[in-house]
Structure 1
Amino acid sequence: MEKGLESFDVIIIGAGLYGIQAARTYLAVHPSSNVVVFEGSSTIGGVWSKDRVYDAFWTQTPVGMAEFSDQRLPPVPELDSYYGFFPAKYVASYLESYVESREFAGRKLSSRIRLDSRVTRLEKKGGTCEWRAHIFVHNKSLRDEEEARNYTATAQKVIDATGLTSSPYMPSLPGLETFSGELVHQKDIAQSHVLHDSANHNVIVIGGAKSAADMAYAAAKVGKTVSWVIRKSGSGPASFALAQGSGSYKNSNEAFYTRLTALFLASVFVRARRREWSLAGFVEWLLYKTSMGMLFFSWIWKRVTARAWKGADYSGRQGKGDAWGESEDRGFHNLQPDTEIFWQNDSSGINQRPDFFSTIADRVTVYRSDIDRVCERGIHLADGNGTFVPADVLLCGTGWDIRSSYAHLNDATAHDLGLPVSQSLQSAQEALHCAALDTRAEAHILRRFPVLAHPPTYHSTPATLTPLRLYKAMLPVSDPSILFLGKIMLGNHFRTAEVQALWAVSVFDGTLSLPDEDAMEREITETVAWCRKRYLGKGQLGNWFWFDMVPYTDCLLEEIGLESHRGRKGLRDLVRPCFAEDLFGLIEEYKAKYHKREST
């Protein structure tokens, strides 16, 4: 073996939800395998790590769903729960306990995770099936001369579980270099002192999604003068669904994550069989091919939107005065989304606090305007008046840089594997081929879901990257030795992480019957075309499956040939929420079906 070279059976990159589940699942099936997880930061959990959670950061997934199937989340105190939603700090503690309590072949899962170990380059060794990961180790606790070292790890199988929330996207604003205050992205706010520094009076939050809302709320609750700026040229502020459920459902997630609801999503992942009668096929025909069904479909989603917007009361909260005795228009109406919830063009979140809307309406000034320029002590808005907004701190809830999340792959490799890269890397011939496939796929999608042919007026920024072209959003058509987990955006990553991990293991094991490359390419193209029509601007990269967690994970498990996650028949299977515990036993079912002779 070369000096500074370590060899493994499987290399996993990233120790967030997806990396943890990839390691746990592979080892549960192959406990004696030599598996390593490289994590670039000093803590596990990714977005849920103890270094990234703060008081105002709560889950959008409730108790019973924000956990893995093989270990329950410890009870959350009632004072820290709102219709089952709770502070993210409990997830951080849960994940640390989880990796300590899972043991395979006498080794804890935690011992397989190497922290402060960043994969700087991943490449295939020429002429072989071997992947080489170049690792940079940095430990702040060591002395300068020992701070860093480099080595290389090899394996024939790789799972890239870096997800989408590892590399912040920072806005490029004119004059930003002149700003004398502090600039902090949402990823770093938990480690920042900005909200607790008495010298920081004026806080500007930039962005329209849930992360920006959390920061605006957090800043207001500690008494800062808060301005929230949502650009006019963007896709608009997020919709905030109510936390409470209806009927027998304890919360809105329980009501939403059912197989009955999945039939009302216009989801490409719902299996509507053409050659035999099925409920899914009948409902699809009824909702999308008949006048009565389309009216009913439209009415259902208008009701969902109306319920959420009524709870927010965007216009009615104006001018009522706040807790400080003031009475002025703080622009709360600027938080009303541009499109209905169905389309998701402006994303969505859960309102997990009873005082969220009142706090924002009373204590936060909301602007819907682009930023013209940044100056030393604030910003000037591009609102026609050059309105000046003072700032000691700029908090950026501006999302994530997807390309940087796999910077360890060079552009050529990323392109060949089907990851989003600059469109300039496509040859003219390839661009024409993809355009022809996209046109045919879009026509097919609109025949299946005519409702998607009539979207509302919406803002969309022209795409600069190619779409995600992975089979099932995980597998490169050209190379089954590497899979990418967590490269999609949806409402519940806990369940998805478990199911994607088992699907990945089935690919590596050869127990999954994959279609040929042409069939995979056709399905990928249809998924991208559907995503763009279904989720508008948010769907440009073909990886936005926000409402589709249930049909997507069901589709993956059906492809593996597993059924224990269902466990119910008829109406009960349709209306019962999909809880984490439903996945308990899946690995044993998989092993019994495909690894009967393998000793565990």
Structure 2
Amino acid sequence: MSDPEYDIVIVGAGPNGLIMGKTYLEVNPDARMLLLDECTSVGGTWATERLYHGLKTNNLEGGYEFSDFPMQGQEQYGLQHDQHIPGTVMNQYMRDFANHFGLSDRVRLRCKAHTVQRLDDGTWLVKYSTQGGEGKVYTRKLVIATGLTNAPFIPVFEGQETFGRQVLHVKDRATYDVKAESIVLLNATKSSFDAAYAYAKRGVQVHWVIRKSGHGPCWMSPARVTPLKKRLEDIGCVRFISWLSPCIWSEHEGFGWLRGFLQQTWIGRKLVSAIWGLINQDVVTLSRYDEHPDTAKLKPWGDIVWYACTLGIFNYDDDFMALVRNGSIKIYDDDIDHLSSDTVHLTSGTQLPAGALICSTGWDHRPSLKFEPPSLAAELGIPSSESAVDSSMVAKANAIISIALPWLTQNRPVIDANYKPLLKMDPETKAAVSDPRTEPYRLFRFLVPPKHLNSSSPSIAFLGFTWAIPTVMVAQAAALWITAFFDGSLKMQQSTMDPEQILWETALHTQFAQLRYPGGFGARFPDMAFEAVPFVDMLMGDLGLEKKRKKGGSWLSRMWRETWEHYSIRDYEGLVQEWLSKTSGTRRTTVAENGNVVLKGRANGHAKGN
């Protein structure tokens, strides 16, 4: 074979791809690995070309780092306590991480993967484009880690051909040289807030259109909330707070009686509603939504409990709302009707002068890759025109969720009753297009195809196709889970799991993900805020590792910490070595010998070398 052959190819070198590569190499140090990425540097969201002036994390210092490579306290990053991490520092950190763990030499940049083909022998062919032409690689195992912010969703508008100005996705605003007196900004996501702040501070008049037919504004909050001034990013990782949130996979957590009281009893549900009401009002007050008629237009349409990763943080140098109050940012509750020369026309008849139209219209959540043969997408459980699970199973899952989680079904609001989807623009033809891939993700544990769990040679996984507030904590656990899955070492792989049970759990969990956050992204892909710690518990259980990780002191002290102390990446330090120690002598290990790949330990198939 003239083309290089790899033991594993990872498509995407952002945070998910990097932690996947580090984890897999730690377990399989002789593996022939390649990471493909279309950007000019590693980092994904934090890649060099995606940086712009003022970009920062929502997380405070210490909140966005891998457990085995701390950023906090390291002089080279120059961070202060409680500082939001600048995008340039995140870019440097990701590059340092890749260098430290031997990934940099395994990354091929400026390579945009576009086609994945399963071959007759069960291996994979990945085709990609470069500035110099086309390339392809063969691999035994494949991880798609492009994530959910890979392909921007750019809408098309009537009259766009006469507009004469740029229509940009907010992702590309760093390429726009602002010379106009005003711009029009569409939709109210966290990226919209960033763009509005940046342009207003440069003296550009911002006309901000929040679609009446959209999802409404996202929630914004200070970094610290409650009278105790706790980090907002930490609150969802406190077990007691997670118990207030309905969760269908909570049995993996081990606190069923407490959840049962809060979610199943009348008095428990009353208490849950009261606490969520207090949290909601606290954020409204701290964010100062109600202090001015124009800032009130930025108030979300539903309570904070119904939003997940659409939540943003006011991580600006000064008061964002002051720019709204003084008119530097003007807000319109309206829809765009059409465009004409230098002008955006709203359905109300208002005409807005525009040097550019910047769309914060999110991302196409479906993979940007083409899968061959065409029937493969449905089999893999990724969005397609066919479902990976039967409709009767989906109906049963909805019924079970209704019974098991009465607070959810009794209180779940309709936030966007007037929602109308925007038409998508083809990036080449600039014409409106429709996409037949209407089915949601149906991945087991949100990571792997349900029909592949019992495979003798599992070979494909998807990492980063969930959103969770503790991004790194979830990614790190999921990367180890995928590594064990490829190795055949998950507890459920030790004895063949009933295929119907696999599909049932997939249907139940993915349906819950759709129902839980009507103000978030749940209808399109799993979106987790208060369910992240129980989700990691579930992965830990599959790996045979300890779920309750607050150690030291008496039983009462440990229980107090488990209940009230937030979980962080520090609770999972040394996770890979912990798993290796736990599974020593029982797992099968892929090792390169004389150019061939063999399997040691439990025999489970065979793979050839070059």
TM range (shorter): 0.7 to 0.9
Report the CA distance between 1:57 and its aligned residue. 2.3
2:203 matched to which residue of 1?
223
Letter aligned with residue 526 of structure 2: N
Deviations 1:373-403 (A, max 9, x none): 11111211112xx101110011111100122
Letter aligned with residue 468 of structure 2: L
2:94 matched to which residue of 1?
95
2:136 matched to which residue of 1?
152
1:500 matched to which residue of 2?
478
Identify the match of residue 261 of structure 2 among 286, 289, 293.
286
Letter aligned with residue 283 of structure 2: A
Structure 1 window deviating more from structure 2 (362-371 vs 252-261): it is 252-261
Identify the match of residue 420 of structure 1 among 341, 363, 383.
383
Letter aligned with residue 499 of structure 2: E
Kept in 2, the 8 Å contact 1:528–1:541? The answer is no
In 1: Cα distance, 2:330 partner to 2:166 partner: 20
Deviations 1:114-166 (A, max 9, x none): 1011222111112x11111123222xxxxxxxxx1333211121111011101
1:131 matched to which residue of 2?
124
1:34 matched to which residue of 2?
32
TM-score normalised by length of structure 2: 0.85
1:566 matched to which residue of 2?
549
Kept in 2, the 8 Å contact 1:239–1:346? The answer is no
In 2: Cα distance, 1:260 partner to 1:222 partner: 44
Identify the match of residue 259 of structure 1 among 239, 242, 248.
239
2:321 matched to which residue of 1?
357
Distance 1:485 1:75, change over 3 A: same
Deviations 1:302-330 (A, max 9, x none): 11111111122223234xxxxxxxxxxxx
In 1: Cα distance, 2:267 partner to 2:69 partner: 45
* 1:584 equivalenced with 2:573 (yes/no): yes
Identify the match of residue 334 of structure 1 among 297, 303, 307.
297
Report the CA distance between 1:74 and its aligned residue. 5.1
Report the CA distance between 1:348 and its aligned residue. 1.7
2:353 matched to which residue of 1?
390
2:582 matched to which residue of 1?
593
> Which structure 2 residues correspond to residues 88-487 of structure 1 after superposition, within 5 A?
88-102=87-101, 108-126=102-120, 128-138=121-131, 148-190=132-174, 192-194=175-177, 197=178, 199-246=179-226, 250-271=230-251, 280-318=255-293, 331-344=294-307, 347-353=310-316, 354-362=318-326, 363-383=328-348, 386-407=349-370, 411-422=374-385, 425=386, 434-454=390-410, 455-459=412-416, 461=419, 465-479=438-452, 480-487=458-465
Deviations 1:246-284 (A, max 9, x none): 5666522223322222211212232268xxxx5x21222
* 1:18 equivalenced with 2:26 (yes/no): no
In 2: Cα distance, 1:590 partner to 1:452 partner: 35
Distance 1:50 1:458, change over 3 A: same
Distance 1:546 1:345, change over 3 A: closer
In 2: Cα distance, 1:76 partner to 1:247 partner: 31
CA RMSD across the alignment: 2.5
In 1: Cα distance, 2:129 partner to 2:31 partner: 24
Distance 1:564 1:544, change over 3 A: closer
Distance 1:490 1:74, change over 3 A: closer
Distance 1:316 1:462, change over 3 A: closer
In 2: Cα distance, 1:87 partner to 1:95 partner: 13
Distance 1:255 1:8, change over 3 A: same
* 1:44 equivalenced with 2:25 (yes/no): no
1:66 matched to which residue of 2?
64
Letter aligned with residue 311 of structure 1: L
Kept in 2, the 8 Å contact 1:207–1:397? The answer is yes
Aligned residue pairs total: 553
Letter aligned with residue 371 of structure 1: I
Report the CA distance between 1:573 and its aligned residue. 2.1
In 2: Cα distance, 1:458 partner to 1:482 partner: 36
Structure 1 window deviating more from structure 2 (199-208 vs 156-165): it is 199-208
Distance 1:411 1:308, change over 3 A: farther
Report the CA distance between 1:244 and its aligned residue. 1.3
Distance 1:308 1:250, change over 3 A: closer
Deviations 1:468-489 (A, max 9, x none): 1000011102233100000112
Indicate the SS of the match to 1:174.
coil
TM-score normalised by length of structure 1: 0.87
Structure 1 window deviating more from structure 2 (412-421 vs 402-411): it is 402-411
Kept in 1, the 8 Å contact 2:116–2:369? The answer is no
* 1:512 equivalenced with 2:490 (yes/no): yes
Letter aligned with residue 378 of structure 1: T
Kept in 1, the 8 Å contact 2:154–2:168? The answer is no
In 2: Cα distance, 1:522 partner to 1:378 partner: 52
In 2: Cα distance, 1:269 partner to 1:89 partner: 37
Indicate the SS of the match to 1:468.
coil
In 1: Cα distance, 2:223 partner to 2:285 partner: 13
2:528 matched to which residue of 1?
545
Deviations 1:496-516 (A, max 9, x none): 211111000010111103333
Report the CA distance between 1:245 and its aligned residue. 4.1
Deviations 1:84-118 (A, max 9, x none): 4332221111101111111xxxxx21000110112
Q: Matched residues, percent identical?
A: 28
Identify the match of residue 535 of structure 1 among 513, 517, 521.
517
1:141 matched to which residue of 2?
none
Kept in 1, the 8 Å contact 2:540–2:547? The answer is no
Distance 1:346 1:256, change over 3 A: closer
Structure 1 window deviating more from structure 2 (559-568 vs 244-253): it is 244-253
Indicate the SS of the match to 1:212.
helix
In 2: Cα distance, 1:45 partner to 1:79 partner: 19
Indicate the SS of the match to 1:315.
helix
Indicate the SS of the match to 1:470.
coil
Distance 1:533 1:120, change over 3 A: closer
Distance 1:368 1:180, change over 3 A: same
Indicate the SS of the match to 2:30.
coil
Distance 1:511 1:79, change over 3 A: closer
In 1: Cα distance, 2:236 partner to 2:135 partner: 47
Kept in 2, the 8 Å contact 1:245–1:253? The answer is no
2:539 matched to which residue of 1?
556
Kept in 1, the 8 Å contact 2:243–2:262? The answer is no
Letter aligned with residue 10 of structure 1: I
Indicate the SS of the match to 1:552.
helix
Report the CA distance between 1:347 and its aligned residue. 2.9
Q: Which runs of 5+ in 2 are unaligned?
A: 422-436, 453-457, 552-557, 592-610
Report the CA distance between 1:404 and its aligned residue. 4.6
